[in-house]
Amino acid sequence: MSPGESAAGPPDPRFTDVGRLVVRCPDRPGIVAVLSGLMAEVGANITDSQQHSSDPYGGTFFLRLEFHLTGLPARRAELEQRLATLAGEWGMVWRLVDASHRPTLAVFVSRTDHVLQELIYRVRAGDLRAEISCVVSNHRDLEPVAVGAGIPFHHVPVTPESKAKAEAEAAALGLLGDVDLVVLARYMQILSADFCGRFPERLINIHHSFLPAFVGANPYQAAHDRGVKLIGATAHYVTAELDAGPIIEQEVARVDHRATVEDMRRVGRYVERQVLAQAVTWHVEDRVIVDGEKTIVFA
């Protein structure tokens, strides 16, 4: 039984007939009134509302609504049609999500297991409402972790030759299916622009430094060489530019002059676990909106 199956059980009444509406549009007076009015007209009860304006004088407006509407699955088409009409009038980019849906995650790993273990734990505990559909790795080290959790494991070796790397990516893509989100849980390979482009705003990486400082493969060594007093981790959406995608979550931990590189790695493992798991949770709860090179996070 997979972690997703073990956590699913009977339908959770907290998410039955619950929808989420996420909106981005040019800021102008009346947007909130129009959307809340629509919800009232269809008989929906708004249970949570968060909004942000980049600039109230001509900026971009962002909104996340959570609402309860009896019979939501049957009424979804009606609601989408009315939202589409409003979108044309107000220039809205929007998405409507059924909160009962459990997104599927494909997790890519290499040899370290701490962030994968955290994701598995949170799914099992019900803290992360998702299902890990598979684990893909360029090594076999973590196969026992995946198999022990009942998750399909796929070994896709990667060699330095560009042709071989392209073939490995193609093989990995063939294994994913219609997955909702790809998570790079310390997957120590650089993905091609083509691969990243297949998952726009659906590919999350954990980088073991407080970006934009110390990009690349060995940031703890670089941090040690600079004598930093804070180390950190960054979860971000992946783009074609290395370690430069929109940042979702960051956290730091204090170190001092006595800390070795290995000390930093040990402390950093705990930070990485928290940061990636939080970013994935916010993503699957539709709390993240990408705004160019930045994100709006309705935590």
Positions marked active-site: 243
What six digits make up the tokens of 280? 């994935």
Give the number of other CB atoms < 10 A from CB of residue 164: 12
CB 272 within 8 Å of CB 186: yes
Residue 124 backbone phi and psi in degrees, to 5: -60, -40
The CB-side HSE value for 264 (13 A sphere, CA atoms) comes to 27
Provide DSSP, 199-222. STT-EEEEESS-TTSS-SS-HHHH
Q: How far apart are CA 146 and CA 254, in angstroms?
A: 32
Peptide bond before residue 212 is cis, with ω within 30 degrees of 0: yes
Residue closest to 239 by CA, chosen among 284, 289, 290:
290
- Check if the beta carbon of residue 28 is closer than 8 Å to that of residue 59: no
* CB distance 65 to 20 below 8 Å: yes
Distance of CA 148 to the CA centre of its chain: 24
Pairing of strands 93-98, 104-109: unpaired
170 SS3 class: helix
Report the C-alpha gap between 277 and 120 in whole angstroms: 10
- How is residue 5 written in tokens? 């199956």
Gap between the Cα atoms of 149 and 121, Å rounded: 10
